[in-house]
Amino acid sequence: MPEKRDFSKGDLVVYPTHGVGKIVGVETQEIAGHRLSLFVVHFDKDRMTLRVPLAKAKLSGLRRLSTRKEMDAALTRLKGRSRAKRTMWSRRAQEYEAKINSGNPASIAEVVRDLYRNVGQPEQSYSERQIYQAAMDRLVREFAAVEKIGEDVATKRLEQMLSVA
């Protein structure tokens, strides 16, 4: 029985916990006596290949790149005022990690906005910098893919937006 495919070879996709990848093919493997059709997704930046069963692709959160409209909504959040809560850092860090791993560009933009430090603001702790950098990398990769620009150009544009906000 043929399975319905939402993606095809060459499509850029977003996997929530890894970011932007490219579907390099669809293959069939036998695992524990069952034949499975799998999307093969390659993540250049991480030098990683992920195999996602076709039947579980949607459930796992695999999705197409954001539209320009969705990306604009994320950038609007990026330009907003920081809403960092005054709760314990460990709790906020968990919330930030959950937002990053959601794969939602608007949520990732909130993390970048909340953890961004402008000139004259206090230094970030090591863990704040780590989470900020993870969120920024994720947002830059998808922004660059949507706009069809290089990641360095995308980084400059996002940093510009943050410094103006």
Q: State the residue range of the domain holding 86.
A: 68-164
Instruction: Spell out the residues 6+ positions from residue 113 whose beta carbon is closer than 8 angstroms to its own.
Output: 77, 78, 79, 80, 82, 162, 165
Q: What is the value of pTM for the model shown?
A: 0.86
> Do 79 and 56 share a structural domain?
no
> Do 159 and 98 share a structural domain?
yes
Take residue 87 and report the two structure tokens written for it: 């709760």
Q: Please indicate, yes or no, if residue 5 is contained in any of the structural domains.
A: no
Q: Please indicate, yes or no, if residue 87 is contained in any of the structural domains.
A: yes
Q: Tens of pLDDT along 89-118?
A: 899 999 999 999 998 999 999 999 999 887
Number of independent structural domains in the chain: 2
| Residue at which a domain ends, from 29, 48, 64 | 64
Block mean pLDDT (10 aa), the chain, length 165:
68 91 92 90 90 90 92 90 82 94 93 84 86 94 93 93 81
Q: How high is the pLDDT of residue 1? A: 40
